[in-house]
Structure 1
Amino acid sequence: MNSTDPKEYLARREIPQLFEGLLNGLMSYRPDDPVDYLENCLQKVRELGGSEKVKWDTFVGPDKRNLPPLNGGQARRSFLRNVLPESCNFPYRRYDRLPPIHQFSIESDTDLSETAELIEEYEVFDPSRPHPKIILVIGGPGSGKGTQSLKIAERYGFEYISVGELLRKKIHNTSSNRKWSLIAKIITTGELAPQETTITEIKQKLMQIPDSEGIVIDGFPRDVAQALSFEDQICTPDLVVFLACANHKLKERLQKRAEQQGRPDDNLKAIQRRLMNFKQNAVPLVNYFQEKGLIITFDADRDEEDVFFDISSAVDNKLFPAKEPVAGPSELDLSLILDIGEGAESTSEFDEQNEDIAQSFGDDYLREELRKTKVVFMLGGPASGKGTQCEKLTQKYGLTYLSVSDLLQSELVTASERSKLIKDLMQHRSPVPMEIILEIVKEAISSSLGSTRGFLLDGFPCEIRQAEEFECRLCTPTLVLYLDCSAETMTSRVVRRSKVSHRNEVTTENVKRRLQMFYQAMEPLLTFYETKALLCKINAERSLDKVFLQLCALMDSIF
């Protein structure tokens, strides 16, 4: 092999360009696990079609696109000359160090993926061609989604995607991967997999079947947030099929399936949690699609052939219109979801919990009760004074004070499966999924409902998805307070406080990184509430007493 062979190979395979993109991503985001990060980036390279598709900013988020390419935008060959050591068999000089990257910031990691939102956005379908017809099939666990989805796909010659199978296959194939090991635990306990991870897997699968005339997606979305993400990142579905089935039927089917198939997520505790998640999410999800005129509901308690006959008629009318409609969209029968009808006998502690959900903890009931009280959000960065002001306001106005961090700490001292999962996530420095946080907040609100003048939530929501989901499931807040404090002030306060408590691990650099994450998540959240005329900003640079007086004036306006 002569000295020109490696250079020709590198040039032909666009290796310098690939290295440039990977290094830009690493230096911009500085992930705790660089190997896992690079594995995810290389997977993205395969999805894009190879290293020739990679650009210098492929692994850099939109907020950092204003950064220059490494080495001032020199050609890829010049870039390689700067970073390869002299020991390589190439006549390239060694560069002592790479130039610094300015305007550094960190993306908020909210879905267990160190690379989510870091990769360049891409189109799933060719924008120059009509996208395939998309049918989403949703329903409770055990409602027959898989069976009916396969029948639909076979009848119309569509491709079939099972989201559950996608995730289980990924978990099996990447069992040693830290992120997927945690996702496996989440699914095994009956919780929803992280939203962005699920969306990414669906997008990857869809890109493998670009020429399909139609696609049936089984088991997605599970909640409104997933529905919104699907529309934002992929497309609006052509039809949503909802299989409504009574709770006792679902439970019977799941237990039977567990005996026959032995799926890891069909254990008793997971079944209970999945049914609870379904009951909490089903009504708002179906209502969301009903408002768009996309959903048709079917009684799935019947024989599967009878159900499929009705589905076929509806699909024919909706996607392949006949001269005379056979069936049309139907309204959601709440008794099928919440077991308000006959035949929903309570045979276990979980059935009693479900009755409580239907009667006093269901979203509809909770929303109705919250209209009679006040819900105030207190937002602000670290050391902006949220905790102190919340305690003073709670005492003055007789409110129930809910701190998300305190609620999580209280959960950790229990011996529940949810507690074990949260501990595991925290040990691996992974964020707690939004579903778990919302569930804990709902439980805390429910326990005090009817015995308080209102709720004051400290540090919640911390990003826009939580805000949207809270409004969807519970209510729009009465007031949103934001303690506006400069980064310099908050940094000096945190560092000063850490010295008093002898926390030497807290450094100015750590605080700056934390604040960058905070501002990135907070900006769209504040805009969200500003457009609703709910946001009140308070100058938190002043003394505690002056800030409290302004907060009281705002609180007096709603009481």
Structure 2
Amino acid sequence: MNTSEAKEYLSRREIPQLFESLLNGLMCSKPEDPVEYLESCLQKVKDLGGCDQVKWDTFVSQEKKTLPPLNGGQARRSFLRNVLPENSNFPYRRYDRLPPIHQFSIESDTDLSETAELIEEYEVFDPARPRPKIILVIGGPGSGKGTQSLKIAERYGFQYISVGELLRKKIHSTSSNRKWSLIAKIITTGELAPQETTITEIKQKLMQIPDEEGIVIDGFPRDVAQALSFEDQICTPDLVVFLACTNQRLKERLLKRAEQQGRPDDNLKATQRRLMNFKQNAAPLVKYFQERGLIVTFDADRDEDEVFYDISVAVDNKLFPNKEAAAGSIDLDPAMMLDTGEFIDTGSDYEDQGDDQLNLPGEDTMGGFLEDLKKCKIIFMIGGPGSGKATQCTKLVEKYGLTHLSTGELVRSALSSETERSRLMRDIMERGGLVPTGIMLALLKEAMAASLGDTKGFLIDGYPREVKQGEEFGRRIGEPHLVICMDCSADTMTNRLLQQSQSSPCGDNSETVSKRLETYYRASIPLIAYYETKTQLHKINAEGTPEEVFLQVCTAMDSIF
């Protein structure tokens, strides 16, 4: 039986509730013979009809009924009925009554802390004021939560809270405290800090910043129990951002961070344990927030600017619906993508299970786009500057009834508009960066969607420029039916470009031509090799006249029409 099956069994059989009640009875009665006492209690359970009839105070004598339930057990039942669906098959209804074992060793040890103090109920936000918007950012260790949380906070003027930093600072400032010394050991081994301790620290931090318009909380919750406690004791979040990242990428980032920052919880053993905890807890947590309609998922394997662009559009749409939304938002809210290497194997051994994606129930945000696209052909036209791509594209459009999409034209058109996306693109390009793949794909998808039904196919010129772009296009839109590569020597392309420059005052010189060709060859060699393995590539000898080259291109085109 793996961990998930064990948790499900314990929850279904009401075992945590039984243990809670027995422990309350022992603490109140303090029997001389605890074994005999427990035997009598278990007999009473049988007489009552089973574990589901046991309450937190079943074994507490009447004069001691003022004892508060462990972890707020009985008091939380009405909350659970309000928050969770009444479907008996829903597997997360009683997760709050299944606390990690290490909580008993810390939170219930009166030498370390008073449990009643930890679960004390008090208002976090002033009811007379508007509550700040709350964004929770979750994901595996190394998925980029901190980076994206800071970007969100900066863009919207929100306060940023790192739960990990809160705990680390507390540990550092109270290093002589026995309780926090134990918590430090727990975190260093890769385990989760005790739930009520973490919630208390978040509460105290929130009460220190009562006037914020919004708050971004990084790294919380880590499991369903923590999510329930957050909603019970603080509030329901306005948005949950989940950064989905492959197992291998998480490990690479954590090891790199360990080298650069030297954090004590980034050691190899702790890293493996943290990934294991994430693997066990993430799927139920994502499923829970999905049931509440609160979560948006993003592919965090990509460049951080691309990820942030998608997040910013989602935040605009979810929290500021009256604000002008950036075009391309149809890329958001993909079906819940979870790495099977993270979530499927829940055994005790840490093992990389691969990077395949698992789709959980979710919304198909692309609508009928992909279905309509199946009726069209997709052709990539790649080649260096001066190879004659533009000339051949014009001829192909006329002969085959295709729609020509030039990525250069799409970018220029997007930059001419005043949208959130265009401003982000300008910021990136002014810093010398390339237009992120996510934005480029959004531009292409919009242009393709606008022509569906009126074209036989799409002739895409200038994309992809590297293997990563090709992989993303295939995953998010579809694989091309044909890739035409205009094969031309560097000398020929140089001569053509220099001849063209003579008729233009802003034309290329020998130095700029050389740099353009160097950039092209650096990216195109692995790209050509990538499509050769997929048997989609047709190399065209582009040294001849436009008419001679066109005959070769038509031969390649006729193979798919």
Scaled to the shorter chain, the TM-score interval is 0.3 to 0.5
TM-score (norm 1): 0.47
TM-score (norm 2): 0.47
